[in-house]
A = this chain, B = another copy of it.
């Protein structure tokens, strides 16, 4: 069994943002030399998310509105977590969108359906944060 590990660093311009990181993960896969196995991609921070969905700007705008409806940022004082912090909503948004994805590796490629793309979802950004890529297989 082979294994491969890499950290990807990202810093978003806005507090909340979506980055398509599919190519970064594909580069990790090529570097690993693994052709059959599983690839885990997870946020290493608890106020951000890794998920698979559509690379369409309208949808990302809809996600912003929708997550603000289900887990609003403000008023900050509505959350007990926000004594010394202001990011309780980011911890909730990340639960809705998910910490991680596991992707099948088949014949040296991310084994994806036609529209699957991997995103880093940031809910408390404007600082450097990490995503972990771990691949095991042969």
Residues of A within 8 A of B (CB): 1, 3, 5, 36-38, 40, 42-46, 51-54, 56, 58-59, 61-63, 66, 70-71, 79-83, 88, 91-92, 94-104, 106, 111-116, 130, 132, 134, 136-138
Contacts and interface: CB of A to CB of B under 8 A. Distances in A.
A69 to B, nearest CB: 9
A122 to B, nearest CB: 14
A89 to B, nearest CB: 9
Give how many copies assemble into the complex.
3
A106 to B, nearest CB: 5
Contacts of A130: 113
Given A95-B51, A136-B137, A44 B112 contact: yes
A95 B92 contact: no
Contacts of A36: 1, 3, 136
Given A100-B101, A115-B45, A58 B80 contact: yes
14 contacts: A42-B104, A44-B112, A44-B116, A46-B52, A46-B116, A58-B88, A59-B91, A62-B91, A66-B92, A70-B70, A95-B96, A100-B101, A104-B132, A136-B137
Contacts of A112: 44
A62 B79 contact: yes
Nearest to A106: B5
